[in-house]
Structure 1
């Protein structure tokens, strides 16, 4: 007996049977699958499938070569009520006709082949911004959860900007180009197939130091001053005096003059004189005020020490040897008045005279003033200091030990301080409270610094009493105290004073008495006799 085999119906049964996820509920009899295949819902899905498959196959064929097109599999037969009768094939008579046919596996030749490569997820992400020249790190797996690994980082615009990809997916490096940038990151799976193609957008912000301009000051303006100043002179054997003054970035950015000034000298009789001033930034001619006050004070002090230096040394060392140091004796007050006080008054008077001659108010020349006088005596290092305004005077003794030789004037707000004025000389008690005297058995350095140096180096006024902080500052400066080998080379001390600290861009002036060459020599201290601390 010849039995016709309905191939399209048979194929439909196989496809429907394989779509059941649970074999226990799968229809076992062919007639059940036939009725399911003829239902309107299944017929609609079959029709949609044929259309989608046909479109996909056509697209695939257009993208492939002629050889690939000839190797494409034929569409599996799908029942369609509107289609004509399909050819019949004999049924295997070895199997009873009344036995339900088991669901068969779809033949390998009938398995649909992929029509394209696995889809790659395309993303555009914004990642954290970086700063020019500063370390940048971004964990891309945290920013993009689908990223398994990164094969490469390629700039979409511009040249390489100094970033590399570290396993597993960390973008790091030192950005070398400012502006907006786009990186392309490709993520691959464990099989090496691409999974993610991400465009990373981020910006590199300029280093804040690079934003500062260095505009020259008008050298034809009244009281024009060089942008920097440096001076060195020999003191007693083995010691040296050094002063450096550098225009701050805030002045350089707008092309204004340096307001600070500093002077030093080693006077006959063994006296070391150091005077610095910080002109008030809000006062138009303060640059000249600091110059007049410091230079005139130094000049008059040297003259007075030539006459009264011996009396001053004798009065102060005798007072220091006494047991009662709570108050200065009259002999010491008289000696200080005829030397230190008279020189400070002369510095202020020089400002008054210039104000009258120029027709400008005295306040337009406002300045601070820090002064230190040093002499090596049989009793120790005699140091006399005076200060009005901010900044600091410090005597560095044994390692990590310091004596602060002034009390800075600080107002309620940043930048507030007191300046050299007439009222100072009308308040005698306040004037002499500003004079400090010490006789120290040991001395490594005597340092005077304007607030342009102290503010970025000391977080608070209390820190000015911190010995290790002062020694840290001195150790930083020590290698820069030696004069440059040639005049064409930038002075190392001025180069140091150009250090960069955010929010601190004022003029910087520092004056030091230190061992020659900046190298500590304990044997040199033996030339100074021992004394006692107060």
Structure 2
């Protein structure tokens, strides 16, 4: 019997498979495969006309193929070959619940929806697969609010440091403290004064807006740090064990224009998007020397002379979405700091979340969407959107 080698691609569970079977005779004869049988029913078949294996594998493992072939169309021969079906990477991830009696228990998911006076705001947060796999908590958090009387909206996302034991509480404290302070200020004289200046938007008015938001954000950051430091003292923990990022926007829509003041401490992303093909990045992420390294909210950052560089203000027409996200979302979609400036990548992101925003259950749909699979990107994910 002539010696023949058979070659075909490995398969993966759950992924459509199509591979030609290349048969090579040691004597150079043309080989025609007449039939292939499988040791197990794994969802794969053979098409003798195209000489291709096809289907969607349902089981992973190594499986024996029994191949009937010929070189002259008269006599048939039989050989065996091994087919490797790799598992779906998603199936390898465990889902372990964190301890329900933990002092800083946090649900695996959270979401909120605001629909007032034509303003829509949604936020969703989800525990990452890397946390699910080891039974640890979601470290991300968020805060959203809208005042229908004044028109001011607040959005905040925070990412607790994965290496910090109590960061899930740190992100919660920072979000709630800063969010509550900013909401209260925008309901009072500060909000009224800023609204008047924004409506006027003359050069002299614009000069006053920056310093006012600098003071607001510095106070919000100080209060957040104070809340974390107080908690650390009460719980006999180190302040660093509560480390968190903090990204925030204070915004208002006046007629067909959107004004936003953004504060960016850490990684993640903030952007004013719209129309299609146009994006305005409201700051830049803090990136370190290695993956996952970033800047966290603390007194050193607040007292740094470059603090005001973390604040960006603007007023634009045709903005359809104001978006904040932690790096669990920005990393898989934009990959690099340069990627954040790509309008094509933002178009892709917005197109993927639009069905969620058009749903009657926007917040819940966003939470489901955050469960998308991206190889190598398994961190907590949080997003807040105003439209």
TM-score (norm 2): 0.92
Distance 2:383 2:158 in 1: 10
Contact 2:4–2:24 under 8 Å retained in 1: no
Sort the Cα spacing of 1:459 and 1:138 in 2 relative to 1 into closer, same or farther, 3 A. Answer: same
Report the equivalent of 1:341.
218
Cα drift, residue 484 of structure 1: 5.5
Report the equivalent of 2:292.
415
Task: Name the larger-Rg structure.
Answer: 1
Report the equivalent of 1:510.
383
Cα drift, residue 134 of structure 1: 2.5
Report the equivalent of 1:286.
167
Q: Within the alignment, does 1:148 sit opposite 2:27 as a pair?
A: no
Sort the Cα spacing of 1:346 and 1:475 in 2 relative to 1 into closer, same or farther, 3 A. Answer: same
Cα drift, residue 193 of structure 1: 2.6
Q: Identify the range of structure 1 (338-347 vs 214-223) with the bigger mean alpha-carbon deviation.
A: 338-347
Cα drift, residue 371 of structure 1: 0.2
1:503-527 Cα shifts (integer Å, max 9, x gaps): 000111000001xxxxxxxxxxxxx
Report the equivalent of 1:436.
312
Q: Point out the structure with the larger strand share.
A: 2
1:140-175 Cα shifts (integer Å, max 9, x gaps): 3345565622222112x3224323234342223322
Say how many residue pairs are matched: 383
Structure 2 unaligned spans of 5+: none
Report the equivalent of 2:321.
445
Cα drift, residue 199 of structure 1: 0.4
Sort the Cα spacing of 1:197 and 1:276 in 2 relative to 1 into closer, same or farther, 3 A. Answer: same
Aligned to 1:219, the other structure's residue is in SS state coil
Cα drift, residue 305 of structure 1: 1.2
Structure 1 unaligned spans of 5+: 1-119, 515-534
Q: Within the alignment, does 1:243 sit opposite 2:123 as a pair?
A: yes
Contact 2:144–2:155 under 8 Å retained in 1: yes
Sort the Cα spacing of 1:358 and 1:160 in 2 relative to 1 into closer, same or farther, 3 A. Answer: closer
Task: Provide the aligned C-alpha RMSD in A.
Answer: 2.4
Contact 2:112–2:124 under 8 Å retained in 1: yes
Cα drift, residue 280 of structure 1: 0.3
Distance 1:316 1:365 in 2: 36
Q: Within the alignment, does 1:493 sit opposite 2:370 as a pair?
A: no
Distance 1:492 1:146 in 2: 58
1:45-88 Cα shifts (integer Å, max 9, x gaps): xxxxxxxxxxxxxxxxxxxxxxxxxxxxxxxxxxxxxxxxxxxx
Q: Within the alignment, does 1:209 sit opposite 2:85 as a pair?
A: no
- Which has the higher relative contact order, 1 or 2, with Cα contacts under 8 A spaced 6 or more apart? 2
Distance 2:317 2:7 in 1: 64
Q: Identify the range of structure 1 (245-254 vs 180-189) with the bigger mean alpha-carbon deviation.
A: 180-189
Cα drift, residue 343 of structure 1: 1.9
Distance 1:352 1:235 in 2: 35
Sort the Cα spacing of 1:166 and 1:229 in 2 relative to 1 into closer, same or farther, 3 A. Answer: farther
Contact 1:126–1:202 under 8 Å retained in 2: no
1:12-411 alignment to 2 at 5 Å?
120-121=1-2, 128-143=9-24, 148-155=31-38, 157-194=39-76, 196-237=77-118, 239-267=119-147, 268-307=149-188, 308-316=190-198, 318=200, 320-322=201-203, 329=207, 331-377=208-254, 380-411=257-288
Distance 1:215 1:249 in 2: 10
